[in-house]
Structure 1
Amino acid sequence: MTAVARPVVAPPEPWAFPPSTTHDLPNGLRLVTYDVPGQYVLSVRLGLPVSLRDEPREREGVASIMARTLDEGTERHTAEEFARLLERKGVSFGAGMADAGLSIDLDVVKGNVEPALDLLRQILTEPAFPQPEVARQVRTRIAEIEQERSVASHRAGLEFVRTFYAPGDRSSRPTAGTRETVSAISRDDVAAFHARHVVAAGTTMVVAGDLEGLDVRALVEGALGEWASGPSHRDRFLTHAAALAPDRGRIVLVSRPGSVQTELVVGAPGPDRSVEGGWAPYPVLGFVLGGSPNARVDAVLREEKGYTYGIRSSFRPRRRGGVFLTSGSVRADSTAESLRLLLEILESGREGFSDKEIRSGVDFISKTAPGRYATADTIADEAVGMALDGRTTDFTTTNLRDLATVDRARVEAAYARFADGAGVGASGPGSGWTVVMVGDAAAHLAAVEALGIGDVTVVTDA
């Protein structure tokens, strides 16, 4: 028998984000295109630097209501007619408001891109905002608010931002508004917000897919060249940093009598992508601490103790600053012990990391990148996300290349920079962390206080 040599598996070649072409249109719209051969459903994304801080205080949520009603009829079509036009041309449309800005998504088969862009033009430049549709979306949002209060994970998130950010900062309140502010929103409020803020200047439009045979710039100029320029808020938008609450390092327990689980959210100030030493170590750090089923948190709380189905940690950058968040639910009878262990694990970074841990994080993030960005929609999503952060996808490529150089020393330096900046562990367990818990206060308050990690504030929903 002839022996056959085992093939040698070579390491993958360095991967780069697909190349792009950029065009700046006269009205201030920036067009970025990605030719992705074989992807015949084109993904069109718009990122508008609209800030939640631009909403009137007494009408917070108006940006979200506006986003939800953009396609609910135009000057020439009723809501029903416009919905049929979108369906007839095979257009999938969506829009939403977040801290990063206003995002508009459109997917269409290549052969219908021209009529789809005309429909997009109508959405952007001549939405009707019919009063019945605005009222319907207001009612829907109010129903959502009630649902968010009933779901433990949502309730914990609401209490976290209220505790973590300064009371006067927009970030401390729900993105889509509260019952009081949403109830006051009228059709005129929505139309006025649109007229002032949905403008071409400062907007980035991304088109990704198989572009062979298409003059995308000509098509976009033909459809959106007359879109009003307006004042760009990009510079002010990109330089704002959310104000943090001076007393954010505390424990808040939202009372939910009889709950069989306790929802935990633990957070601290984190970096943005411009952080000293580079951004690359921070996704690795989040992965090692709690970013996977094999991370430190789940190794103890799920595998060893059986307290949870899973808890996840991640660094979430904003345009300036960011937050490190860990969240998940645990068995009610393990509440205090789970919190103690969780804080110990999160603070264990001061004791260092192993080469094996670091390599697992680097390999996962870097080697899954080609799969994550294999389709036109994910390429367009990443591009518009980077644009709203004041960057291009060159950053994505550069960061992945830098990731290959991340080692234990860089991750430990990144943890020290994060922990020192956030005041984590500076004065004993729990110091510097914002902790929000949703569970049975009567059953857990004494045990949590006995941990000695800080005073506990109990919040009771009316």
Structure 2
Amino acid sequence: MTLHPQPQAGQAKPWAFPAPERTSLPNGLTVLHCDRPGQQVVAVEVNVVAPLAAEPESLDGVATIMARALSEGTDRHDAEEFAAELERCGATLDAGADHPGIRVSLEVPASRFTHALGLLADALRAPAFPEGEIERLVRNRLDEIPHELANPGRRAAMALSKELFPADSRLSRPRQGTAETVERIDTAAVRDFYRAHVRPATTTAVIVGDLSGIDLPQALAGTLGAWTGSLAEPRPKAPVTADDTGRVVIVDRPGAVQTQLLIGRIGPDRHDRVWPAQMLGTYCLGGTLTSRLDRVLREEKGYTYGVRAFGQVIDSSADGKGAAMLAISGSVDTASTGPALEDLWKVLRTLAAEGLTDAERDVAVQNLVGVAPLRYETAAAVAGTLADQVEQELPDDHQAQLYLRMAQTGTVEATAAVVAAFPADRLVTVLVGDASQIEEPVRALGIGEVKVVSG
């Protein structure tokens, strides 16, 4: 029998995160574009500096309603016509609001790019904000809120934010508003927020895809370049502050058969030199099925299907006023809540005492750096990361430099970073579950003062 020879791996090609080109339009709008030959679906990410902290008092959620309303008609098309025009282009348009500002995302085949970009420009330049559509969006948002409160993961996130951040900080309140604030939002409030914050001078557009057949300067001139608006002074940022005194908050869900865990504090953001080591160390702690937390809580003890540790930027700025949420999340059955938390704290203390191993560090580098080319195969993935960099006031080469720094980070450095990120005595723990079953076992652990709140 003659067998076909086994295929052999070829020589690995050098790879680096794509470098964008940066330009500015006469109206003040900033453009980052990145030509990706072969990527026939072009991705556009638009960042507008309209932070949630700028929402008027008692109108939390108005930024979300405004973002959703951008595609509900313009000065050229009503809502149905606008949707039909997008469909003819084969395009998708999404918009949302988060703490840094408004994000509008467009994906479209390269052959229809210019027309779709014109629709996007119309949505930003002259949204109609019809009263009936605003009322519908408000009703939809009010319908979403009970579902979010019923979701243990979302409920835990809300409780952690409320517990960590000062009551007067926008970070302490739900990003998309509460039922009390959303029901106050009307068309006038949406238009006022738009007029106050949405303008080309505070906007950046990121464009990624195969641009070889596109006259980009001409396409921009007739679309986003035709948008006019006043200049604006940068909005001052307050430093992010939080109270990470070790304590436990139980959100009572009588009869719950599982307990949702969310354990967190704030730490350095992506501007800090420790970020690459912190990413590596956090990945070793709880970034994958082979991490320390999963090895103990899932494989050895069978408490959970999985526990994850992560760092997520919540607000970032080059002046050092930003921060990231450092957290551990997962769920366990109710009876295992106390033992699972006890073992989780043992993992943290053992990590502080013994450190990471070289093997753990090597696996983390391979999984975070080695697979990066696969992560960024699509134009949308590249555009999203570049837009994140814009939001967080990072240099254009940040992601490329991040991979280089992670590859150069040693085991000792990664250990020090993750131990500093998750000190066993400075963590706020939120548990969404049956307080009658879990309160006493949790108190016995001595990981901080315990209080119970209504679910």
State TM-score, norm by structure 1.
0.92
Structure 1 match to 2:45 = 45
Q: CA RMSD in A?
A: 2.1
Would the aligned equivalents of 2:278 and 2:421 in 1 still touch at CA under 8 Å? Answer: no
AA in 2 matched with 1:252: V
AA in 2 matched with 1:439: G
Structure 1 match to 2:129 = 129
Structure 2 match to 1:242 = 240
Structure 2 match to 1:349 = 351
Q: Aligned pair 1:111/2:111, yes or no? A: yes
AA in 1 matched with 2:445: L
Would the aligned equivalents of 1:290 and 1:313 in 2 still touch at CA under 8 Å? Answer: yes
Question: 2 CA distance for matches of 1:17 and 1:310?
Answer: 30
Change (3 A) 1:258 1:124: same
- What is the DSSP-based 3-state SS (H/G/I as helix, E as strand, rest coil) of the residue aligned with 1:205? strand
Change (3 A) 1:309 1:97: same
AA in 2 matched with 1:333: A
Gaps of 5+ in 2: 317-321
Taking the TM superposition and a 5 Å limit, the aligned residue runs for 1:331-346 are 331-346=333-348
Identity across matched positions, percent: 38
AA in 2 matched with 1:102: I
Give the one of 271, 285, 288 matched to 1:289. 285
Question: 2 CA distance for matches of 1:394 and 1:73?
Answer: 37
Would the aligned equivalents of 1:165 and 1:244 in 2 still touch at CA under 8 Å? Answer: yes
Q: Aligned pair 1:255/2:252, yes or no? A: yes
Structure 2 match to 1:391 = 394
Question: 2 CA distance for matches of 1:229 and 1:322?
Answer: 33
Question: 1 CA distance for matches of 2:179 and 2:428?
Answer: 25
Structure 1 match to 2:228 = 228
Q: How many residues align?
A: 447
AA in 2 matched with 1:241: P
AA in 2 matched with 1:335: T
Q: Aligned pair 1:460/2:454, yes or no? A: yes
Structure 1 match to 2:96 = 96
AA in 1 matched with 2:180: E
Change (3 A) 1:41 1:310: same
User: Could you give the per-residue CA deviations for residues 98-156 of structure 1, whole angstroms, max 9, x where no partner exists?
Assistant: 12321100111111112112111210111111111111111111111111111111111
Shift of 1:436: 0.2
Q: Which runs of 4+ in 1 moved over 6 A?
A: 5-11
Would the aligned equivalents of 1:358 and 1:407 in 2 still touch at CA under 8 Å? Answer: yes
Change (3 A) 1:14 1:352: farther
Change (3 A) 1:354 1:192: same
Question: 1 CA distance for matches of 2:8 and 2:281?
Answer: 31
Would the aligned equivalents of 1:261 and 1:329 in 2 still touch at CA under 8 Å? Answer: yes
Shift of 1:14: 4.8
Taking the TM superposition and a 5 Å limit, the aligned residue runs for 1:311-350 are 311-317=307-313, 318-319=315-316, 320-350=322-352
Would the aligned equivalents of 1:49 and 1:100 in 2 still touch at CA under 8 Å? Answer: yes
Question: 2 CA distance for matches of 1:8 and 1:148?
Answer: 50
Shift of 1:413: 2.8
AA in 2 matched with 1:86: L
Change (3 A) 1:136 1:346: farther
Gaps of 5+ in 1: 426-430
Question: 2 CA distance for matches of 1:223 and 1:347?
Answer: 56
Shift of 1:213: 2.5
- What is the DSSP-based 3-state SS (H/G/I as helix, E as strand, rest coil) of the residue aligned with 2:228? coil
Q: Aligned pair 1:435/2:429, yes or no? A: yes
Would the aligned equivalents of 1:46 and 1:204 in 2 still touch at CA under 8 Å? Answer: yes
